[in-house]
Structure formats: C-alpha cells, structure tokens
Amino acid sequence: MSDFTSGFWPIYISIITLVSIIGTWIFLKKQTTRKLAPGEKAELMEHTWDGDLQDFNNPLPRWWLGLFYGTMVFSLVYLVLWPGLGSYSGVLGWTSKGEYEAEVKAAEAQFQPVYAGFMQQDIATVAADPNARAIGKNLFLTYCSQCHGSNAEGSRGFPNLTDNDWLYGGEPDTIKTTITNGRNGVMPAMGGVLGEAGTREVANYVMSLSGRKHDATLAAAGQTKFAENCAVCHMPDGTGMKALGSANLTDKVWLYGGSEATIIESITKGRNGVMPPMTQTLGTTSNQEAKLHLLAAYVYGLPQKQ
C-alpha cells in the first residue's frame, strides 16, 4: 500500500537513498584506508592556525569510524525490515495503520470488561457511579467540550447541559437519543411575515412571558401575532415543545439571548442549531454503544451534581 501515483517516484527515491548510503561508504573507505608504512611518520600538514595550532594527518580513531559504519549498517537493515524504500513494504510488513489498529484493539480488549459491566446497568444507575462518571467526563472532554465547553455549561447557541432545562428532554433515553442521532432545531425566519413593527411587538410579548422588562402596549399587540405565528411550535403558553426542541420562552434560560435585540434577531432571521449525530464521531468500534451509554449517563448526572 502506498500513496505514490506514478511508478517512477518509488524507484527514484529508492535509487537516491541507496546511492547516498553506498556512496558515503565508499567515500569514507577511500578517505581512511591509507596506512602509515612502518617507520613512516604522520605528515605535518602545511597550515597552522591561531599562531601555534598544527594539523597532522593521523588516521581517524577506530571507534569513531566504527560508529560511522554502524550507522550505515543500521540504515540498510532498517530499510530491509521496515518501509522506507519507495513502495517496498519491508520484511516485517509494518504499517502505521496496522499499528494504530492493533492499539485500538488492545485498548478495546482492556475496556471491554469495564464497559460490559456498565452496559448491564440502566443510565440512571451508571450516572451515580463515580468511576463511570470519570470515564464519561473523559469522553465528554474528547467529543463534546469543543461545543458545550469543558464544564458542559455551553455558550451562546450551545445549550448548557448542567441546568436541568432541556430543549429536547432530560430523561435518560431522550439524552441518549439526542447524542446518538443528533438534533436540529429549526426556527424559521419570521421577519418577512411579521414586518419590523410586528416583530418588535411579538418580541415584547415574548419578553413578558418570562417576566422581563417590556413595553406593555407593544406586548399586548404582539399577543395575537404570537398565537397566530408562534404557538404552533412554542405552544400557546410559550413553554415550547420537546419534540421540536422549540425553546421554552417562559423561563430564564436562553439559548441565544433574552435581550430585545437578540429576540428580534431570533425572530427575524430564524435559528438553526445543529447537534451532530455522534455515531459518526465515535467511530465504528465495538465500544461505540458503551461510549454512548456512558456519555448519556454523564450528561444525565450533570444537573444533579450542581
């Protein structure tokens, strides 16, 4: 297996590599084999440095030459055993992919018994186990923290998972479904339907739902518009629908923000939060099920830990 696209380059590389090694060998040999005849003295070379530093052409020390030849022998042996010469794969048949797969297999074999134990317990039980939480936390830091933050508290557009306020539901199985299949919150852009003034009225009505400071006249005008345009998804009382992930507008938790400007932005442009399905990311390893189980348990246990 090689990434070369033409048969020329492997040969080109192999020739350069071998010629370099053999050439160095011949050069070294040629430069170091002159022996002193009996009685002959090392010649003093013609130059002097720093006033009194002289240069003799004594033979190089044997240990030094030995090291030099040793490196060349080593490189040749290496090139026979491991891939290095063009597309030649080496006597040992080593590949980085093979090594990685072996490591994954070893790790799976090591974790399998641990995982198997947790798989037999339901998510709520696993969530109460400190060892499971430690593993779950590591998994979370690897797979989820880039969006939800290392403390799982999220940020704008990325829900806080520690607050017991759920877009899609906080039951163990719902959390597992969320992580496994992903979620996509679709709030359509309503600016065109409502117009600028209408949007401001509905926004003020939305603010009144959670007891925020609002303009009562605008809010009153917005109430019917809300019933006509928003209640389908956010329910007539504004508490939202878990099946759609339509945010509860009556509480103090905001995914995007509760200021008038941000609510107007949500309504005008719409929102489209995407939680990616984790089955892709967790790979096709046999431990994927267990990882989902432990992650779901970890997330389920988060609000209780606060």
Q: Which residues bind ligand HEC (CB under 6 A)?
A: 143-144, 146-148, 157-159, 161, 166-168, 175, 178-179, 183, 185-188, 190, 202, 206, 226, 229-230, 232-234, 244-247, 249, 254-257, 263, 266-267, 271-276, 278, 295, 299
Query: How many angstroms separate the CA atoms of 14 and 88, rounded?
Result: 9
Strand (E) or helix (H) holding 168: none
According to DSSP, the residues that pair with 56 across neighbouring strands are: 44
Q: Where are the alpha helices (DSSP H) in 33-87?
A: 62-81
DSSP-based helix, strand, coil % in the chain, nearest 5 = 55, 10, 35
According to DSSP, the residues that pair with 187 across neighbouring strands are: 271
| Of residues 125, 129, 132, the one with CA closest to residue 290 | 132
Closer to ligand HEC by Cβ: residue 135 or 244 = 244
Contact 274, 176 (CB under 8 A): no
Contact 234, 214 (CB under 8 A): no
Contacts of 171 (CB under 8 A, 6+ apart): none
3-class state of residue 134 by DSSP: helix
State which amino acid sits at residue 265: E
Query: Token digits for 39?
Result: 């009685």
According to DSSP, the residues that pair with 158 across neighbouring strands are: 155
| Of residues 299, 306, 292, 290, the one with CA closest to residue 112 | 290
| Of residues 254, 294, 302, 295, the one with CA closest to residue 115 | 294
Query: How many angstroms separate the CA atoms of 86 and 84, rounded?
Result: 6
- The radius of gyration of the chain's CA atoms, rounded to the nearest angstrom, is 35
